[in-house]
Amino acid sequence: MLQKANGQKKLIKSKKNKKFIYLISPEKIKSDNFYIYLEEIFKLNKVAFFQLRLKKEKKKNKLIVGRKIKNLCKKYKVKYIINDDPFVAKKLRADGCHLGQNDMNIFNARKILKKHIIGVTCHNSKKLVKLAIKNKADYIALGAFYLSKTKEAKYKANIKILKWTKKTTKIPIVAIGGIKFNNYKKLLLNNANFLAISGYIWNNKKYKPTEAIKKLK
C-alpha cells in the first residue's frame, strides 16, 4: 500500500492486508503461458509488488515484455517495479525501480524517477541499512535469508538483522532469498513487511505457479 505521510511517500502493510508478496519474475520468460499464470496469480489478491527482473535480456525485449506486464499490474492494482534500470522504469511508466549495490546510486535514480518508488538492496549490513535510511529509500531489501536456486547468495541475513532494522526505521522491509512454503511464516512473524519470492513460484517442480502461491496465506 502506498500512502503519504509528512510529505513523503510511505509503503505500509496493514495487519489486515494479505498482500504481503513481492513477486519477482523468472530471469527469462519462455512462453505466453507466463502471462496466463501471472494473471491467475494477480486475481488471488496476494501480490503487492511485481518486479521485472530480466538481467540477460536486451532492452528491446525488456520493453516488449514490460508493456504486457504493465497492463496486468495496472488492471489488478499491483505496484510495478523494474530491476536495476531507472531508464527502463521511466520508459515503461512503472511505479518504481529496485537498485542493487552495484547499480546506479539512489540520487541519480531519483533525478530520473522523481517521486516514484525506489527500493535498495542492503544484504545483511547495518551500514547499508543506515545509508538507505539517510538516502530516503522507499523500502529496504534484506537477504538472503535462505539458500536460493534463483540467485547465488553472497550474503546471508538472519532474523537478528531483521529485528534490528525494524527497531531502527519505519521504512518497509522486503525479505528475500529462498523463501518458500516451509519458511515464509517465520519472516512474517518477525515483522518483515513483504516477502520477495521467485523460484518457489516459477520453478516449483511439485506445484504450478497458482497452486504454489495459494499455499502462502
Average pLDDT (18-25) is 95
**pLDDT of the residue at 30:** 87
Average pLDDT (126-139) is 98
Average pLDDT (136-146) is 97
Q: In whole angstroms, what is the distance from residue 154 CA to residue 43 CA?
A: 34
In order of their start, the domains of the chain are 2-214 (3.20.20.70)
Mean pLDDT of the chain: 91
Q: Which three cell numbers stand for residue 148?
A: 536460493
Q: In whole angstroms, what is the distance from residue 25 CA to residue 195 CA?
A: 14
Looking at the predicted structure, is the pLDDT value of residue 17 above 60? no
Least confident range of 11-25, 36-50, 186-200 = 11-25
Q: In whole angstroms, what is the distance from residue 103 CA to residue 88 CA?
A: 13
Q: Which residues pair with 52 in a beta bridge?
A: 82
Q: Given pLDDT bands bounded at 50, 70 and 90, which one contains residue 15?
A: very low
**pLDDT of the residue at 148:** 78
Tell me the percentage of the chain whose pLDDT exceeds 90. 86
Q: In whole angstroms, what is the distance from residue 74 CA to residue 99 CA?
A: 22
Instruction: Tell me the angle at which helices 159-168 and 126-134 cross, rounded to the nearest 10 degrees.
Output: 30
**pLDDT of the residue at 83:** 97
Fill in the DSSP letter of residue 180. -
Is the distance from CB of 179 to CB of 198 less than 8 angstroms?
A: no
**pLDDT of the residue at 16:** 47
Degrees (nearest 5) of the Cα angle 165, 154, 141?
30
Taking CA atoms, 16 is separated from 1, 19, 46, 186, 188, in Å, by: 12, 9, 12, 18, 13
28-79 pLDDT per residue, tens: 998 999 999 999 999 999 999 999 999 889 999 999 999 999 999 999 999 9
